[in-house]
Structure 1
Amino acid sequence: MPAEIVFGIGASHSTLMNTHWAETRQKAEATRFRDALYEARDLLAAARPDTVVIVGSNHFRGFWLDLIPAFTIGVGECIASGESGTPKGPLPVDVPLARHIASALMDGGFDPAFSARLQIDHGQTHAVQYLLDGLDADIVPLVVNVFAPPLPTTARCADLGAALRAAVRSFPDDRRVAVIGSGGLSHRLPWPDWRDPHGDDEEFMVAAWLNGRGDWSRYDARRRQIIRAAPSIVNPGFDEEFLGLIETGGTDRMRACTTEDLQRTAGNGAQEIRTWLVMAAALGHVPGRRLAYEPVHDWLTGMAVAVLDPTAQKEPTA
């Protein structure tokens, strides 16, 4: 029996959930978001995936400005950087499926980078920590560049999700595959356009992004201070509109949204919705179900969880 995609999850992430839970003033909102992660985990477990493709972003702890691919697939070892209380160390990778996906994407006209020794950060390991807790499943890490312009377009990300769907379904061995899109929603990070930094903090950030390979932790304390000092800029109107597209299966309409549109309307952190678009397209843009949306200003982010279940769209047999 060939592989099939059986479940999808879109989920926001924030390391402040780990490091500053006690200081979080919006405890009710934070708790509802955390509970939604646990509910999504239970629904994922019920779908019985063998492998989970985790589509996530890079926060300059696994990639640096010396080399930034638009898309990267981990096809061998995968090492979690372990920052801010997220998992650290090697993660189990479904190497045969990962290598098949990389080859199938190449054959289908995509040119993803691949890594036989990939380091990932909380852009994916937050999902490992909360959504894969207790699950016996391998992963396929897929990293999307969302913070170092020029960025892949939203249309290209949607096309990647469709190509990922075809690649998984062409895998000849039996696999139940889930896809997680980790990131977003609206938020603004105190991060510069690396091509045009202004002031000491922005110059520091760009230096960390350029020179951090092999030594990212020495920049982390000041990075954290800069982030904690940033004002919260969340756009619930944008977030509600996007989640409405998730719920109605209309996410393909985001193809027309440009990088500049997202930046202006929902902040540079909203560029992470590309990971949700890849996931939704891999699920065939089936209508989803929102489990939570909370604008948690203490975490600087519109925090959301949604699930996409393709079996829920099938008519029951007589």
Structure 2
Amino acid sequence: MTDIVLGVGASHSTLMNTHWEETVHKDEAGRFRDALYAARDELAAARPDTVVIVGSNHFRGFWLDLIPSFTIGVGECVASGESGTPKGPQPVDEDLARHIAGTLVDGGRFDVAFSARLQIDHGQSHAIQYLLDGLDVEIVPIVVNVFAPPLPALARCDALGGAIRDAIAAFPGDRRVAVIGSGGLSHRLPWPDWRSPDGEDEEFMVRAWLDGRHNWQDYDARRRQIIRAAQAAINPEFDDELLTMVEKGELHRITAYTTERLEEVAGNGAQEVRTWLVMAAALGHAPGRRLAYEVIPEWLTGMGVAVIDPAPHGKVSR
């Protein structure tokens, strides 16, 4: 029998790699990093064969010429390697990935996109770098559109997680599977609505998102300058509410937010909590544990880590 043995939700920031020394809130940054390592140890203890990584796209894997709501990597997977994150081919559990994609489509629950040659960015590779360090596992990469409206409704992300859970349970054999949701929490990026850019910087960003498929690196230096010049907009109250939902097994309540309300309260970067929602739903919304929450303005983000163990009393079955 194929079982989901652990879930992890974790924020990501490439500024961990590129601007650690310039980070003023070193204690907070250290506690967050330690929580990533603690989650990594829990993943190791759960002994997964495969890790489903649900992450976002930062216009280095998908561009405005084609933006599916949900995409499953079912073949080759290459990490773009920006900002010191892993680069190059990643090992994919093709059998499980194709089973999940086929089950979702054949069952009529989701017409997901799939890619036999998927490029991922730090929306997945940040988790590979910190949460899968030293683990001999294959992955199933799943990309959720969180930055190019119209975005999939939060309720659809919740339903997708449940459908993935059912598909994994139906997979023949005895795979042990973990699920990671990578992204969030509250933050605001200086990224426009692509449909109505305002000013030179926003027009540049939209052009990079439209034309970057073959030369995204050419746009990266200015992109980073625009991001580094942004002011932090973190909402610790929202982040605490979300993490409390995770702890209580009630993250499905976040579906009460519309896309517009979520951005108003927690910033456009908070749209990444869709990845946590897919993960939590795949874990059957079992109660979780908060490992860390830190406000790190230099990274523009409220940084959280949580673990969901579906086994009774929080113990991984052996």
| Shorter-chain TM-score tier | over 0.9
Tell me what 2:29 maps to. 30
SS in 2 for 1:310: coil
Tell me what 1:105 maps to. 104
2:134 is equivalent to residue 134 of structure 1: yes
2:310 is equivalent to residue 282 of structure 1: no
SS in 1 for 2:224: helix
- TM-score normalised over the length of structure 1: 0.98
Q: Distance in 1 between matches of 2:60 and 2:113?
A: 17
Q: Could you give the per-residue CA deviations for residues 108-151 of structure 1, whole angstroms, max 9, x where no partner exists?
A: 32011000000000000000000000001000000000000000
SS in 2 for 1:92: coil
Tell me what 1:262 maps to. 262
CA-CA distance at 1:261 after TM superposition: 1.0
Q: Distance in 2 between matches of 1:253 and 1:238?
A: 13
Tell me what 2:75 maps to. 76
Q: Could you give the per-residue CA deviations for residues 27-61 of structure 1, whole angstroms, max 9, x where no partner exists?
A: 00000000000000000000000000000000000
Q: Could you give the per-residue CA deviations for residues 220-266 of structure 1, whole angstroms, max 9, x where no partner exists?
A: 00000000000000000000000000000111111221101111000
Q: Distance in 2 between matches of 1:312 and 1:151?
A: 35
SS in 2 for 1:56: strand
Q: Distance in 2 between matches of 1:252 and 1:13?
A: 22
Q: Distance in 2 between matches of 1:104 and 1:314?
A: 29
Tell me what 1:302 maps to. 302
Q: Distance in 1 between matches of 2:166 and 2:186?
A: 30
Q: Distance in 2 between matches of 1:114 and 1:123?
A: 17
Q: Which amino acid aligns with 1:171?
A: F
SS in 1 for 2:252: helix
Q: Distance in 2 between matches of 1:87 and 1:219?
A: 20
Q: Distance in 2 between matches of 1:315 and 1:301?
A: 31
Q: Distance in 1 between matches of 2:255 and 2:111?
A: 20
SS in 1 for 2:115: strand
Tell me what 2:40 maps to. 41
SS in 2 for 1:163: helix
Q: Distance in 2 between matches of 1:104 and 1:298?
A: 42
- TM-score normalised over the length of structure 2: 0.98
Q: Could you give the per-residue CA deviations for residues 74-101 of structure 1, whole angstroms, max 9, x where no partner exists?
A: 0000000000000000000000000000
The answer to whether the 8 A contact 1:74-1:117 is kept is yes
SS in 2 for 1:13: coil
Identity in percent: 74
CA RMSD of aligned residues (A): 1.1
Tell me what 1:121 maps to. 121
Over 3 Å counting, the alpha-carbon distance change for 1:81 and 1:205 in structure 2 is same
Q: Which amino acid aligns with 1:28?
A: D
CA-CA distance at 1:312 after TM superposition: 3.7
Q: Deviation above 4 Å: which 4+ runs of structure 1?
A: 313-316
Matches within 5 A, 1:1-318: 2-108=1-107, 109-313=109-313
Q: Distance in 1 between matches of 2:102 and 2:257?
A: 29
SS in 1 for 2:79: strand
Q: Distance in 2 between matches of 1:23 and 1:184?
A: 21
Q: Could you give the per-residue CA deviations for residues 184-242 of structure 1, whole angstroms, max 9, x where no partner exists?
A: 00000000000000000000000000000011000000000000000000000000000
The answer to whether the 8 A contact 2:309-2:315 is kept is no
The answer to whether the 8 A contact 1:286-1:313 is kept is no
The size of the alignment, in residue pairs, is: 315
Q: Distance in 2 between matches of 1:21 and 1:233?
A: 20
Over 3 Å counting, the alpha-carbon distance change for 1:256 and 1:137 in structure 2 is same
Q: Which amino acid aligns with 1:99?
A: R
